[in-house]
Structure 1
Amino acid sequence: MDFLNKLLGIDPNYIIIGLIALFFSLEQLTKTRFSFKDRMKHLFQNGLFQIVLVGLNFFFVSFQVFLIDWLNGQQIGLLYLISLPLWAKILISVVLYDLTAYWIHRGTHKIPLLWRFHRVHHSDTSMDSSTVFRFHPMELILVFGLGNIVTAFLFGTDVLSMALYYFILYIFFFFEHANLNYPNWLNFTLGLIFVMPDQHRVHHQQDQFYTDSNYADIFIIWDRVFGTYKTMNANKMKYGLAEFDSDNKQKFFYLLKSPFIHTQPIKHEQKDRK
């Protein structure tokens, strides 16, 4: 547990900087699956979202930790009804945080108001490792941040397990979004339980039929169990949202205000769907 505490004591910003440096460098040094231009400009535009989020998180993370600690102090949640070893409680808590995130993520696609914010992430027409940053700050704080508090309220999960969940999540996020070639065998082995890049790429396909699938962040098993799992030939992928497919709609300031702008979705022909 001492090692875990030291590992999770590392500033998350350092972890994120290390991961973006690693994956973005690999994207420039290796032959990637999809060819995109203006990579540094793309990194800069997406990186601005992370800068804003870091500033806002300074206040909200403290509030989030305070509430979860208070809930734990009151022994509220299902995990307080059973006796478990600490390691088991931590692992189960990580799974529960991911399960809650699955349903919240699914909700951001189905509830029009939430979709207005979440579509900022999906609007990226050239997905790479920097797309990890491309979330509207209000979505991460008010939707997914409050989701962590709800998870603690329902299940009795704690701050330590939440920190471990995010440590794992950061790795998966960069792994899933990076514009890299991965071996196909991953989809048929680890991809039975965990989210693999080809599976998450389906989620970023421009056709909304595929966009509304593969919601899981870490455990793809949620999509398999709840009927939202879809596959698609990776060579036919076209990222983003058709209604955002122009240079002026890919800029930071436009995307920041885009939830408050009505944008009519562009429908796709219903062919070659599975």
Structure 2
Amino acid sequence: MEVINFILGIDPNYIIIGLLAIFFTLEQVLDNPFQFKKRGKHFLHNLLLQISFFLMNLFFLSVLISAIEWLNVQEIGLLYLVELPDWLRLLLGVLLFDFSTYWLHRASHKVPFLWRLHRVHHSDSSMDSTTTFRFHPVELAVVYQAGNIAAAAVFGLDVTTLALYYFIVYIFFFLEHSNLNYPNWLNKTLGLIFVMPDHHRVHHHQEQFYTDSNFADIFILWDRLFGTFKLIPVNQMKYGLVEFEKDEQQTFWYLMKSPFIDIERRTDKS
């Protein structure tokens, strides 16, 4: 627990900056499975989305923490019905936050308004490590924070567990989105339990049949259990959404306003 407390004591912004520096640098010096131009502009527009989320979350993060701490004081949630050692409660908590996020992510592909927000992430036709930042700030600061509060209320989860979950999930996010070549054996070993980059690349495939799959962030077990797991070779993948292929639709300002624009969802170029 001392190691975990030390990790959670680090400013999460430093962790995110460090991960970005590592993975973005690796993308420049190693071979990439996908080649694309204008990486500087791509970096800038995705970074602006992250900054917008950071500013919005200054308020919503305090609401999140206050709400979960109140739930904990009232001992609301299933885990309060049993006595568990701290390490097991922490492990189960990470599993349950990931389980809850799986279902919220899945709903984001089915509920029209949630998809309007979530398609900002899927609109990226040139996925790399900065795609980790490519979320509409309303989705992250409002929808997902509300989901975290709901998960805490149902399962009895605390802020420490949530912090550990996000520490782990950001590592997975950078692994999953980075434009790097990964060994195929990962899919048949660690990929039996955990989300591997090739799994998440399928999720970013332009064809909706594949976009609506592999919803998990950390544990691919959820997709395997609930029938949403799919895998295809990396060289068959094409990222993005057909309705977002124009250059002006890849800009920060367009992505910010896009949830409030009627854009027909298309699965082909016809």
Q: How does 1:21-40 map to 2 (within 5 A)?
A: 21-40=21-40
Question: What is the percent sequence identity of the aligned residues?
Answer: 61
Q: Secondary structure at the match of 1:183?
A: coil
For 1:169-210, what per-residue CA distance to the aligned partner results, in whole angstroms no more than 9, with x for missing partners? Answer: 000000000000000000000000000000000000000110
Q: CA contact under 8 A between 2:60 and 2:142: conserved in structure 1?
A: no
- Number of residues paired by the alignment? 269
Tell me the alpha carbon deviations over residues 35-84 of structure 1, each in whole angstroms, 9 at most, x when there is no partner.
11111111111000111111111111111011101100000000000110
Structure 2 segments unaligned to the other structure (5+ residues):
none
- The aligned residue for residue 155 of structure 1 is 155
User: Could you tell me which residue of structure 2 aligns to residue 66 of structure 1?
Assistant: 66
Q: Which residue of 1 aligns with 2:17?
A: 17
Residue 238 (structure 1) shift: 0.5
> Which residue number corresponds to residue 144 of structure 1?
144
- Preserved CA contact (<8 Å) 2:242 2:266: yes
Q: 5 Å matches for 1:125-144?
A: 125-144=125-144
Partner of 2:169: 169
* 1:184 aligned partner: 184
How does 1:105-254 map onto structure 2 within 5 Å?
A: 105-254=105-254
TM-score normalised by L of structure 1: 0.97
Instruction: Note if contact 2:206-2:267 (Cα within 8 Å) is conserved in structure 1.
Output: no
**1:45 corresponds to:** 45
Deviation track 1:73-112 (CA, whole Å, cap 9, x = no partner) reads 0000000001100000000000000000000000000001
| Per-residue deviation, residues 102-152 of structure 1 (Å, max 9, x unmatched) | 000000000011000000000000000000000000001221111110011
How far apart are the structure 1 equivalents of 2:63 and 2:266? 39
Q: CA deviation at 1:268?
A: 3.3
Which amino acid letter does the alignment assign opposite residue 194 of structure 1? Answer: F
Inter-partner Cα distance in structure 1 for 2:265 and 2:91? 40
**Shift of the alpha carbon at 1:231?**
1.2
Q: Counterparts of 2:222 and 2:2 in 1: how far apart (Å)?
A: 31
Partner SS, residue 194 of structure 2 = coil
In the alignment, residue 72 of structure 1 is paired with which amino acid?
Answer: N
1:267 CA displacement: 2.4
CA distance in 2, matches of 1:95, 1:107: 19
Tell me, which stretches of 5 or more residues in structure 1 are unaligned? 270-274
Aligned to 1:272: none
Say if 2:92 is the partner of 1:92. Answer: yes
SS at match of 1:228: coil
The alignment yields a C-alpha RMSD, in angstroms, of 0.9
Give the AA of the match of 2:196.
Answer: M
1:21 alignment partner AA: A
Residues 142-168 of structure 1 deviation map (CA, whole Å, 9 limit, x = unaligned): 211111100110000000000000000
